[in-house]
Structure 1
Amino acid sequence: MRQAHGRLAIETRRQGLAEITDRVADWLAEQDIADGLLTIFCRHTSASLLIQENAAREVRGDIEDYFARIAPEDPTAYAHDDEGPDDMPAHLRTALTQVSLSIPVIDGQVGLGTWQGIYLFEHRRRPHRREMLLHLIGA
């Protein structure tokens, strides 16, 4: 059994889903581990991670719209607004999703399904630099 770890920095431009599958696959290709388990951890409380369909753009738009409805940017709805009206809704959206993913690695590749991609879900409106920690264990 061997382990590898790394960091992946993602510059977001806007609120919404940004596919990071290729960036994760590129890092994975640099490791000398063929089979195992990859953990991706997002080090933020206002961004999260998802595995979601990567074929139809409408899926991403529908997900973004859904989260806008269930955690709206309403300045009268929340006490916490230290960084603006998107601050508390961003925390709620992160709480409803996840900051960590575990993905099987098979033959040196992420074990995703045909239409699956790995996404960073940016919940803030302004651009951010988001950091993910990567941990791979296997042989």
Structure 2
Amino acid sequence: MWHQTEIRLAARSRGFHLITDEVVAGVAALGECEIGLLHLQLLHTSASLTLNENADPDVRHDMDAFIRRLVPGDLPYFRHTLEGPDDMPAHVAASLFGTQLTLAVRGGRLATGTWQGIWLGEHRDHGGPRRLIATLNGA
């Protein structure tokens, strides 16, 4: 089986957001797949995808605090500033975290660990809606 769909995510504030339920709801064929892989590709360069803690929102807060300190928006050597002071730091953060995930599928469900969830990292102050391409392959 091959199935591909686009998932549209509403605009979110800067930070990390748990989007697992939106991804699962957006891939209707997931329940038909006994064994396979779900590949997610974010179609943006100033946001990211990662797999991490799904229970305690403090983890998302702390990750955002860490990345803001690691890549502050006021670095004087950034030249790409036409889209605002948050744009180049957002590109750096997206490259550090990545824009793709591949997850195992087992028994019609994502085969994630008990405390794992899919995060969208929004690295812009006003990033706008985001789009994912979800490609499911399996049997």
Q: Deviations over 1:40-76 (max 9, x none)?
A: 0001110010101011111111100010011101052
- What amino acid sits opposite 2:60 in the alignment? R
Equivalent-residue separation in structure 1 for 2:110 and 2:26 (angstroms): 11
Unaligned runs of 5+ in 1: none
Unaligned runs of 5+ in 2: none
SS class of match (1:60): helix
Contact conserved, 1:34 with 1:108, CA < 8 A, in 2? yes
Contact conserved, 2:17 with 2:60, CA < 8 A, in 1? no
Q: Who is 2:85 aligned against?
A: 85
TM-score after normalising by structure 1: 0.94
Structure 1 runs of 4+ off > 4 angstroms?
none
SS class of match (1:17): strand
Q: Who is 2:58 aligned against?
A: 58
**Cα offset for 1:93?**
0.3
- What amino acid sits opposite 1:12 in the alignment? A
Equivalent-residue separation in structure 1 for 2:99 and 2:75 (angstroms): 25
Contact conserved, 1:12 with 1:18, CA < 8 A, in 2? no
Equivalent-residue separation in structure 2 for 1:112 and 1:82 (angstroms): 39
Q: Who is 2:16 aligned against?
A: 17
Cα RMSD after superposing both structures = 1.1
Q: Who is 1:117 aligned against?
A: 117
Q: Give the percent of matched residue pairs that are identical in Structure 1 and Structure 2.
A: 38
Contact conserved, 1:15 with 1:122, CA < 8 A, in 2? yes
Within 5 Å, give how 1:17-36 maps onto structure 2. Answer: 17-28=16-27, 30-31=28-29, 32-36=32-36
Contact conserved, 1:75 with 1:81, CA < 8 A, in 2? no
Q: Who is 1:98 aligned against?
A: 98
Contact conserved, 2:6 with 2:134, CA < 8 A, in 1? yes
